[in-house]
Amino acid sequence: MKRLHIHLNVKDLENSIQFYNRLFAVEPTLVKDDYAKWMLDDPRVNFAISTRSRKSGLDHLGLQAESEGELEQIHEAMRHADQPVVNEPGATCCYARSNKHWTVDPDGVAWEGFHSLESIPTYGKEEPSAEKEDLHESGDKAACCINKIKPESAGRCC
């Protein structure tokens, strides 16, 4: 069974963790210095927050598969949605190694399909660097969990 994934960028991680602990009535399943994740069953959501971007708000939406078969179904649906798709096998991001596929909706909202393979001790392969900040319009600090498809290729005019 697939799980909806929502990732928000927040300004203050501690305040946001307190807020979402109260909202969901449960502690996060993973907490790092710059990241927290709740694997909720009611509603069935993988909800993550991080301080990895200079811009607060929605980072991306996604569908988390429980198997490679489910991931292939998500990938096929993305291909049929008539938007560009970027494949990212073995990606290291958000303290996990995963097989991923990325697309954007017609308004440029990033969608990620992924199947997590294992936990890892770092947010991604690379630490934040100034040269990576131009990869995404929101100014992400590291090259992971970013909209890897240029907005102009997603049918946006401006």
Q: For residue 23, what is the domain's CATH number?
A: 3.10.180.10
Q: What is the mean pLDDT of residues 77-100?
A: 93
Higher pLDDT, 18 or 23: 18
Q: What is the mean pLDDT of residues 111-118?
A: 95
- CB-CB neighbours of 62 under 10 Å: 24
Sheet holding 85-93, edge to edge: 30-32, 35-41, 44-50, 3-9, 57-64, 110-119, 96-104, 85-93
Identify the helix (H) or strand (E) that includes residue 138.
none
51-64: pLDDT as tens digits:
988 889 999 999 99
State which residues form the domain around 129: 3-154
Q: Is the pLDDT of residue 14 over 70?
A: yes
What's the total number of domains in the chain? 1
Do residues 52 and 141 touch, judged by C-beta distance below 8 A?
A: yes
Q: Is the pLDDT of residue 141 over 60?
A: no
**What pLDDT score was predicted for residue 150?**
56
- Statement: the pTM of the whole predicted model exceeds 0.85: no
Query: DSSP readout, 41-89?
Result: ETTEEEEEEES-SSS-EEEEEEEE-SSHHHHHHHHHHHHTTTS-EEEEE
Q: Is the pLDDT of residue 34 over 70?
A: yes
* Percentage of residues of the chain with pLDDT beyond 70: 78
CA distance 87 to 150: 14
Identify the helix (H) or strand (E) that includes residue 11.
none
Lowest average pLDDT, out of 98-102, 113-117, 118-122, 151-155, goes to 151-155
DSSP structural state of residue 130: G
Give me 66's structure tokens: 């429980």
Lowest average pLDDT, out of 6-15, 31-40, 149-158, goes to 149-158
